[in-house]
Chains A and B, each alone.
Chain A
């Protein structure tokens, strides 16, 4: 494999990582909003949450990508494939994050809620000072899991003509026919990206961990 091809793959990996990062940011916001819906006082809102999460989770990312890609122009939104790609990944990761965060909220022991209540903490302060920090700690390992999935899921965006790692790999293969070498390098690049996210997650876990709080990081 030529150094030109290698450089191309590395650049494409950078694009994949950027796409995934944007999707993680978007998905985190979407997930937080969805989680708020999951704990709404209104049954309708809670039902809407469940339906949305089931629908998104139950749809293959590939189908979701095609759906969004064709739906946006039909709605007269000319976003181009990259924005559409971020939107797809963001929607997908958002539904998964929502469940991760919901699990984190459910993991907060009842006495913590009662302590907050007995102090007369207003809901905003309770959320910022107690709920969010605890959810962050409980939900971090599964959150990192979804981030890793988002990186790998970015590969399907090649179907909507997003130039990213998988797309670039296919281009090079068509030119060089070096199927296994190119795919091997691409796989290695995905692996390194996922490992990097995993390490970053572990680092954050250690930083946030009060010793003995929810067990030592693996």
Chain B
């Protein structure tokens, strides 16, 4: 499970996260929603330490991540340790961010081979299996430019899964897609619900969030303003800004 306590972060003088508390249980799916600029993407990036944060702690399965308290105060963990921690999380970005000079298979096998030290043959077999799983068994040798946005995003999901992560962080993974390609990516995520994997997703697709998330967290002004079961958040919101947000999203 993931425990986030009192997370704070500023960009210069502008506070973005003002003390976020969130727990995600094993196998749980939590959707983060909120206005653009509310801090939800920053929160996601902090969890994987793509952004540093000034206060608070993130604990994965009992292990504190990214910072250590020492006699001289709070310090980042060494880079090698941060790399090992990152390997327990998979990230899928809004713009897919595949490596353009590698085929789909190479993209997926890269992490297992070079970050986790799997033998080349095994890494490739794993890559084939995962690409088949996201429905791309016939596009192994395709380069990202030769794939549609939806296909690229499915490769990106396979690439994240290849690390056998404990948690998947999904950052608006369907926002950049043409509407007709959204479904194929959402299907892949649905197929993961049977797995004991945690997911934290930032999304504007409220219908999808309602369908797959166990809980929805409404982020406003750098805090989690309201959190609960999807029906509760989407149908009987208490926070007035959440009510307004939902009214605009309809």
Q: Do A and B come from one complex?
A: yes
- Measured CB to CB, the residues of A under 8 A from B are 111-112, 114-115, 117-122, 125, 129-130, 133-134, 137, 208, 210-213
Measured between beta carbons, the chain B residues less than 8 angstroms from A208 are 101
Within 8 A of A (CB), among B65-104: 80, 83-87, 89-91, 93, 95, 97-102
The answer to whether B93 touches A122 (Cβ under 8 A) is no
Q: With A119-B87, A119-B115 in contact, is A129–B100 under 8 Å at CB?
A: no
CA distance A177 to B111 in the complex (A): 67
Q: With A120-B163, A130-B99, A134-B101 in contact, is A210–B145 under 8 Å at CB?
A: yes
The answer to whether B115 touches A122 (Cβ under 8 A) is yes
The answer to whether A210 touches B101 (Cβ under 8 A) is yes
Q: Check: B148 CB closer than 8 A to any chain A CB.
A: no
The answer to whether B93 touches A111 (Cβ under 8 A) is yes
Show 10 residue pairs from A and B whose CB-CB distance is below 8 angstroms, ordered by the A residue: A114-B91, A118-B89, A119-B159, A120-B84, A121-B83, A125-B115, A129-B110, A134-B100, A210-B100, A213-B101
Chain A's interface: helix, strand, loop or mixed, by majority? helix
Q: Check: B50 CB closer than 8 A to any chain A CB.
A: yes
Interface range on chain B: under 10, 10 to 19, 20 to 34, or 35 or more?
20 to 34
> How distant is A53 from chain B, measured CB to nearest CB, in Å?
28
Measured between beta carbons, the chain A residues less than 8 angstroms from B101 are 133-134, 137, 208, 210, 213
> How distant is A140 from chain B, measured CB to nearest CB, in Å?
13
Counting chain B CB atoms within 10 Å of each CB, the highest count among A111, A118, A134, A137 belongs to A118
Q: With A112-B97, A137-B101 in contact, is A118–B146 under 8 Å at CB?
A: no
The answer to whether A114 touches B50 (Cβ under 8 A) is yes
CA distance A122 to B115 in the complex (A): 6
> How distant is B49 from chain A, measured CB to nearest CB, in Å?
8
CA distance A44 to B114 in the complex (A): 32
Measured between beta carbons, the chain A residues less than 8 angstroms from B90 are 118
> How distant is B127 from chain A, measured CB to nearest CB, in Å?
13
> How distant is A31 from chain B, measured CB to nearest CB, in Å?
21
The answer to whether B86 touches A111 (Cβ under 8 A) is no
> How distant is B87 from chain A, measured CB to nearest CB, in Å?
4
Measured between beta carbons, the chain A residues less than 8 angstroms from B97 are 111-112, 114-115
Measured between beta carbons, the chain A residues less than 8 angstroms from B114 are 121-122, 125, 129
Q: With A111-B93, A210-B100 in contact, is A120–B145 under 8 Å at CB?
A: no
Measured between beta carbons, the chain B residues less than 8 angstroms from A133 are 101
Measured between beta carbons, the chain A residues less than 8 angstroms from B99 are 112, 115, 129-130
